[in-house]
Amino acid sequence: MTGVRFAAIQMVSAAELEPNLEAAERLIGEAARAGAKLVALPENFYCISGDESAKVRLREPDGDGPIQRFLAGAARAHGVWVVGGTAPIACPDPARIRSACMVYDDAGRRVARYDKMHLFRFSAGNERYDESRTLEAGGQPVAVESPYGRLGLSICYDVRFPELYRGLGEIDVLFVPSAFTVQTGEAHWATLLRARAIENLAYVVAPAQGGLHPSGRRTYGHTLIADPWGAVLAERAEGEGMVLAHIDRDRIAQLRRDLPALINRRLS
């Protein structure tokens, strides 16, 4: 098997910060011991609560705080790159936060920050969500160079907006840390992720929240890694754990030679 092993972590996070950090630490360690060179955490790995303002109460200044120190320390301790799901970063509005995906290299240095651009709003039956009440939208797509290729960052609801990914240029691996609802996940999760992989001829790594949370919320799960041809290489339906797959840049290059869709584009 060629390529570098990546891990996508699935969690069923609680409302309290410390148990979530302990679970993430354990799972990052397990992934590192399994040979992963990069480990990706899900959206809101630090907190899933019935009270959406709980995330706001955990907000941190950019560059410091328990969650950011944890991510840097875990990357350094285990010698892996970490795509840190999301962290709650303070913004000028005290009632809201930026939901930020931080990337740390294997020395624990932060090398990228992406703020969620598209804020989820959904209403069906008894389910109602409006992230704009507690989140401030980001305004800038982000990609980062790594020893494992060019990494494109996105978060959950972003996956419904293909223009975000096109705007990043040629990307080797796209990340979609998520906490999908069951209803939208059953209908669209795998289809959206595989579509983003196929149209960008890139791997997609999608760590998710998956299961019944102590708050009573249920998230869809189905953490997966898809290859540039849209094949699902690994998937975990529900419950805490991880999936592992090899990211092969030679396969990306070969598929882009065989099907030069990226250079055949007529619209930008």
CA distances from 42 to 145, 262, 264, 266 (A): 21, 29, 34, 35
- Say whether 91 is catalytic: no
Place of tokens 């419904």: 160
Instruction: Given the residues 37, 47, 116, 136, select the one marked as catalytic.
Output: 116
How many residues belong to the chain? 268
Give the predicted TM-score (pTM) of the model: 0.97
CA distances from 129 to 29, 52, 62, 124, 167 (A): 33, 10, 26, 9, 27
- Say whether 116 is catalytic: yes
The pLDDT profile of the chain, 268 residues, written as one tens digit per residue, is 679 999 999 999 999 999 999 999 999 999 999 999 999 999 999 999 999 899 999 999 999 999 999 999 999 999 999 999 999 999 999 999 999 999 999 999 999 999 999 999 998 877 788 999 999 999 999 999 999 999 999 999 999 999 999 999 999 999 999 999 999 999 999 999 999 999 999 999 999 999 999 999 999 999 999 999 999 999 999 999 999 999 999 999 999 999 999 999 998 7
- Which residues have a Cβ under 8 Å from the Cβ of 71 and sit 6 or more positions away? 82, 84, 87, 102, 104
Residue ranges of the domains in the chain?
4-258
Amino acid at 105: D
Class of domain 4-258: alpha beta
- Say whether 145 is catalytic: no
- Which residues have a Cβ under 8 Å from the Cβ of 172 and sit 6 or more positions away? 148, 149, 150, 151, 202, 203, 247, 249, 252
Instruction: Given the residues 43, 60, 131, 136, select the one marked as catalytic.
Output: 43
**8 Å CB contact between 195 and 163:** no
